Chains A and B, each alone.
Chain A
């Protein structure tokens, strides 16, 4: 390092330069992410919006500007029923994952005393979620099927005279499989917020004479709300987007918006599917925006 008489000046200059450099460095570092999301996310969504106004026949799709795709889909009661059905799945699965997810996270955060044990149990919950969704879905077939484990046990024990038919290929099976697939998306964010609750708050509540339930209801649950909100975003958007669970677990007897889109896509009716995509997208973004009003994700990370 050279020591010069005008050192402060040089320093200031260097700092100004490094400041400018830092700012362009940020842009440079963010560039790959921007490019990838730009080409593979923003451009496709814009394309879908444009194509939703196009014309199509059995041979291809043609640039046009018509609203028929929207009037066709929104004018049909099948569409409305499908949307309601999808929302029904979202509501039921959300309620179940919230209750199950909260208690699992609560047990891990407040009842397990050593950090090592906490991590081990948390990993046990996590591992199945890193394996294939479809495999986890079809793994219910030998359990719930007509001659499956549950039915044969019930029949042998004499509890039911004949196998229960609605265990598999029914709405019950769809909900069960979704809860099975998506609960971790609730457990993780709730566990994360519970772990960050200052333990002295709970002691203070107890010292002030609160019972266990009062502490839970007035201290822990309000503080866990941001985690629940993030978990809700995950679960609701995953259920709203689901087509495979509905298809496989209902055996084709139930429908969801995404499944309807998938069927249109396999018939190459891309503009019709695109119109549905736009409606679904608006619905999902409205739900997420509603939840984001309650919680600032950037603060919760």
Chain B
């Protein structure tokens, strides 16, 4: 099929794809531009001068509540969720390579955790903590709530990775006298490292942006998405956009760093 002439279908679909990308990025770029609104500007175009006024506003407590503290909480929570998601999904992925009793049940439980509406999980964990007399907090109940969302993704990704993983490499290592740990550390782990980093990225970003599951489980201190969600109803200045720009740029940086990391690993593996 290579190098045949482009058909009309190609151009129609290419135009459709371009429109789709514009649809995805257009609104985002609108708030990116509007966050540089002048001090007298409003929530819509046109720009009333260009300034960093609203970014400065972010760091004044009275304007948006405590942005720094909620960002710190969300960031730490994201890292915790990421670490646990990577470790637990990897272990579960390894477990699913063999048949064991309850494997199917556990698999469908993970799928169920993915499809059950977030707000139900949120309500359930909130009520469980209340009935057990525990205080909900972002590092306990919200942490668990986020895991019910990130772990199924991680497990399904690892399941797919190991589905395509040929056992021949491990057999070769074993035939050469490697211990199970050596086989895992020097053969399996380097091969699945890029996927593990992908799982980590999912874990972090899904947690960092999650709020339906955090709603009933965050306790008295808000995470960043809850803070933003609250702002949508009572903040009527472009400081909302400035906050949006800052968190979006932060997400982009995380994604870029992860992709760079994966590319670097792949290149190193190709060379080695």
A interface residues, Cβ below 8 angstroms from B:
22-23, 25-30, 32-34, 36-37, 39-45, 47-48, 51, 100, 103-104, 106-108, 111, 113, 121, 123-125, 127-128, 130-143, 145, 147-149, 152, 180, 183, 199, 203, 212, 233, 237, 240-241, 243-244, 248, 258, 261-262, 265, 270, 273-274, 277, 280-281, 284-285, 288, 297-298, 301
Contact = CB atoms under 8 A, between A and B. Distances in A.
Interface in B76-102: 84, 87-89, 91-92, 94-96, 98-102
Nearest to B256: A127
B45 A125 contact: no
Contact of A138 (B84, B114, B240): B240
A27 B91 CA distance: 10
Given A39-B144, A125-B24, A135-B31, A47 B124 contact: yes
A273 B216 CA distance: 12
B13 A133 contact: no
B66 interface: no
A180 to B, nearest CB: 7
B189 interface: no
B222 interface: no
Contacts of A140: 27
B244 A135 contact: yes
Q: Which of B95, B114, B159 has the most CB of A within 10 A?
A: B95
Interface of B: 1-2, 7, 9-10, 13-14, 16-17, 20-21, 23-28, 30-31, 34, 43-45, 84, 87-89, 91-92, 94-96, 98-103, 106-107, 109-121, 123-128, 131, 144-145, 147-148, 151, 155-156, 159-160, 163, 201, 205, 208-209, 211-212, 215-216, 225, 228-229, 232, 240-241, 244, 247-248, 251-252, 255, 259
Contacts of A258: 117, 119, 212
B19 to A, nearest CB: 10
Given A44-B123, A284-B117, 17 more contacts: A23-B100, A26-B95, A32-B88, A44-B127, A47-B124, A103-B16, A113-B2, A131-B205, A132-B225, A132-B251, A138-B244, A237-B114, A237-B117, A244-B229, A274-B127, A281-B117, A288-B115
B13 A106 contact: yes
Contacts of B131: 47
Contacts of A125: 20-21, 24
A36 B88 contact: yes
A257 B94 CA distance: 38
Contacts of A130: 201, 205, 209, 251, 255
Contact of A281 (B21, B120, B125, B244): B120
Contact of A41 (B20, B21, B113, B126): B113
A143 B30 CA distance: 7
Given A40-B125, A47-B124, A138-B240, A132 B45 contact: no
B212 A243 contact: yes
Nearest 3 A/B pairs, CB to CB: A44-B124, A241-B117, A40-B144
Contacts of A297: 111
A101 to B, nearest CB: 9
Contact of A107 (B17, B114, B117, B123): B17
